[in-house]
Amino acid sequence: MSLDPATVRRIARLARIGIDESDLQALQGELNGILGWIEQLNEVDVGGVEPMVGTGHAALRMREDWVTDGEARDAVLSNAPDKAGPFYTVPKVVE
């Protein structure tokens, strides 16, 4: 599989990373280089093998459903790039 410029643009769009048209060709070359190298995994017979999601040492734990980190609003907002009162601000989304 090999990425064409349209696919690179589409991935960048999905990842919400703006890319300059001037970077497109270099990026396409690098990503194709990595993908070409990764193709070696097609040699491996993975029939009947379960995917490994994590290392599986920790069993999922349950806990009581109560707030454990509450009352920290000011701390949570302390690094906001822009805020209005106790709210984050963003450009207008709904007309």
Partner 1 sequence: MLTELTIASAQGGLKRRDFSAVELTQAHLAAIEALNGRLNAFITITAERALDAARRADAVLAGQDAPALTGIPLGIKDLFCTDGVRTTAASRMLEDFVPPYESTVTANLLRDGAVFVGKTNLDEFAMGSANITSAFGAVENPWKRTGEPDTVLVPGGSSGGSAAAVAAGLAMGATGTDTGGSIRQPAAYCGIAGIKPTYGRCSRWGTIAFASSLDQAGPMARTVEDCAILLQSMAGFDVRDSTSVDVPVPEYRAACGRSLKGMKVGIPAEYRVAGMPAEIEAAWEQGIAWLRDAGCEIVNVSLPHTKYGLATYYIVAPAECSSNLARYDGVRFGRRVPGESLDALYEATRREGFGPEVRRRILMGTYVLSAGYYDAYYLRAQKVRHLIRRDFEEAFRMVDVLLTPTAPSPAFAQGEKMDDPVQMYLNDVFTVPASMAGVPAMSVPAGLSGSGLPLGLQVIGRSFDEETVIAAGSAIERAASFAHRPALRAEVA
- Give the residue, chosen from 6, 17, 67, 84, that forms a contact with partner 1 under the rule CB under 8 A: 17
Instruction: Return the number of other C-beta atoms located less than 10 Å from residue 63's C-beta.
Output: 6
What values do phi and psi take at 9, rounded to 5? -60, -40
- Give the residue, chosen from 6, 21, 53, 70, that forms a contact with partner 1 under the rule CB under 8 A: 53
* Cβ 30 vs Cβ 38: under 8 Å: no
Indicate whether 91 belongs to the interface with partner 1 (CB under 8 A).
Answer: yes
Shortest Å distance, C-beta 24 to partner 1: 11
Nearer to partner 1, 60 or 67 (CB): 60
Short-list 4, 56, 61, 48, CA closest to 27: 4
Contact positions with partner 1 (CB under 8 A) in 62-81: 63, 72, 75-76, 78-81
